[in-house]
Amino acid sequence: MDKIKELANELTQVNEWPEFGSGDTLNVTYKIKEGDKERLQSFKGTVIQRRGSGTTETFTIRKISGGTGVERIFPLASPFLEKIVVEKQGAVRRARIFYLRDRTGKSARIKERKQYSKK
């Protein structure tokens, strides 16, 4: 089984993305191919989970669009990912924050993680 993982890691191109975790607000830009045309689209939302490892690692982002919750799963090793920008770092106490699905408005807010400067 380890040889399969090693071979998969060698065959896929690994991109360097910024560090992020659940609770962080991301802006993900990805390529969409429609026929012979290609365009970029961005998806901004809160990371509710990150799972897998290596080439099979994925993360799920949730946003509210028109009063409806929209979730999208992105594979980290996808060649369609153009850019990932960490907008805010959220202070959450668990790895999978599915409780956000039941909440709207003020109760769905996530506190921002404090940044301490080193002197």
Give the count of domains, the chain.
1
pLDDT at 38: 94
Residue 118 has pLDDT above 70, yes or no: no
Domain membership of residue 111 (yes or no) is no
Range of the domain at 22: 2-104
Within a domain: 112: no
33 Cβ partners below 8 Å, 6+ apart? none
- pLDDT the model gives residue 117: 65
Rg (CA), the chain: 16
114 within a domain of the structure (yes/no): no
Which DSSP letter does residue 9 get?
H
User: What average pLDDT score do residues 93-111 get?
Assistant: 90
For 16-50, how does the pLDDT look when each residue is reduced to its tens digit (9 = 90+)?
889 999 999 999 999 999 999 999 999 999 999 99
Query: According to the model, what pLDDT value does residue 1 have?
Result: 67
Identify whether 110 is part of a domain. no
Q: Which CATH number goes with the domain that contains 60?
A: 2.30.30.790
Residue-wise pLDDT for 57-93, tens only, equals 999 999 999 989 999 999 998 889 999 999 999 999 9
| Residue 117 within any structural domain of the chain | no
pLDDT at 119: 63
* 118 assigned to some structural domain: no
| pTM of the shown model | 0.82
Label residues 44-79 b or e (16+ Cβ within 10 Å = b).
ebbbbbbeeeebeeebbbbeeeeeeeeeeebebbee
> Is residue 83 one of the residues assigned to a domain?
yes
Q: Does residue 119 lie within any of the structural domains?
A: no
